[in-house]
Amino acid sequence: MLQILGKSTSINVRKVLWLCQELELPYELQQWGSGQLLTEAPEFRALNPNGMVPVIRDGSFVLWESNAICRYLAAACSEANLLPADLQGRALVEQWMDWQATELNNSWRYAFMALVRCSPAHTDQDAVSTGVRNWNRHMTMLNDQLRTTGAFVTGARFTLADIVLGLATNRWFMTPMERPALPAVTDYYERLSQRPAFLVHGRNGVP
C-alpha cells in the first residue's frame, strides 16, 4: 500500500491526500512534522535530505516534492482528466502547477508567516504589507485566468492544477488581511467546494 509521510495539516501534504481521495487510492498516512525538526531526524532525511514533507513510499520507490508526487500518482493511475495525455494539455496543467510552487508561493510566504503563524521572525510591517500586495496581485492573475476559462484553471475540466491552486485559494481566503473582490476566484472556490475531497482536505478550517 502507498505510504504518505507528513503532517496532515500541511498544505503540501493535503495536496496529496486530496488527490488520493479523488483517485480512490488507498494509502497509509504516517504522521511526521515538517521543517527544522525533520532535518534532525536521520531516518527521515534518508528519505528526503531537505527534511520536508510530504514523502511517499510506493513499494521501494521513494519520492518527495508535493507537485511531483501528484503528477506521479495521477500518471500511475492513468488519470487523463487530472493529467492530460496530450502534450499541450499536460504542459498547461504543469505550467500552472509550477506557477503555484514558485511565483504564487513566494508572494504569500512572508505575509502568511506573520499574519497566521505569528512568527517572531516575520514582524517587519513593511514586508508584510508588500507581501499582501504581491499575494493579491498574483491572485488577480488567477482571477483573470478563471474569467477566461469560466470553470477551472486550464479549462472546463478539473485537473491537478486545481488541486494545488485550490488549496492556495483556501489559504488566501482564510488569512486575515485586506483582499480585493475577485469574483472569478470566489466562484471557483464555491465550485471546488462541491467536491467532497476538497471539503475534507481543502476547505476544512485549516489555512
Q: Is 101 part of a structural domain of the chain?
A: yes
Q: What is the CATH number of the domain that holds 133?
A: 1.20.1050.10
pLDDT at residue 44, rounded to an integer: 87
pLDDT at residue 35, rounded to an integer: 58
The domain boundary, picked from 76, 102, 132, lies at 76
Q: Specify the number of domains making up the chain.
A: 2
Q: How many CB atoms lie within 10 A of CB 54?
A: 27
Under 8 Å between Cβ of 104 and 168: yes
Mean pLDDT of the 166-189 span: 98
Q: Is 51 part of a structural domain of the chain?
A: yes
Helix or strand holding residue 118 (H, E): none
Q: Is 204 part of a structural domain of the chain?
A: no
Question: Is the same domain home to 97 and 72?
Answer: no
C-alpha–C-alpha distance, residues 68 and 75, integer Å: 11
- The grid coordinates of residue 166 equal 485550490
The domain boundary, picked from 76, 107, 129, lies at 76
pLDDT at residue 82, rounded to an integer: 97
Q: Count of alpha carbons within 13 Å of 65, Cβ hemisphere only?
A: 9
Burial of 102 (0-12, 13-18, 19+ CB in 10 A): exposed
* Residue range of the domain that includes 189: 87-199
The domain boundary, picked from 50, 76, 102, lies at 76
Question: Is the same domain home to 70 and 91?
Answer: no
pLDDT tens digits along 88-131: 999 999 999 999 999 999 999 999 999 999 999 999 999 999 99
3-class secondary structure, 89: helix
pLDDT at residue 116, rounded to an integer: 97
Question: Is the same domain home to 91 and 186?
Answer: yes
Start-to-end CA distance of the chain, whole Å, equals: 29
CA dihedral 58, 64, 128, 133 (to 10 degrees): -80
Q: Given the DSSP bridges, would you call strands 55-58 and 2-5 parallel, antiparallel or unpaired?
A: antiparallel
pLDDT at residue 91, rounded to an integer: 98
Question: Is the same domain home to 93 and 186?
Answer: yes
Q: Count of alpha carbons within 13 Å of 97, Cβ hemisphere only?
A: 21
Helices (H), 150-182: 160-174
pLDDT at residue 37, rounded to an integer: 62
Question: Is the same domain home to 63 and 156?
Answer: no
Question: Is the same domain home to 71 and 143?
Answer: no
pLDDT tens digits along 14-60: 999 999 999 999 999 999 876 556 656 888 889 999 989 999 999 99
Question: Is the same domain home to 57 and 6?
Answer: yes
Q: Is 162 part of a structural domain of the chain?
A: yes
pLDDT at residue 144, rounded to an integer: 98
pLDDT at residue 73, rounded to an integer: 97
Q: Where are the beta strands (DSSP E) in the chain?
A: 2-5, 27-30, 55-58, 61-64
pLDDT tens digits along 135-170: 999 999 999 999 999 999 999 999 999 999 999 999
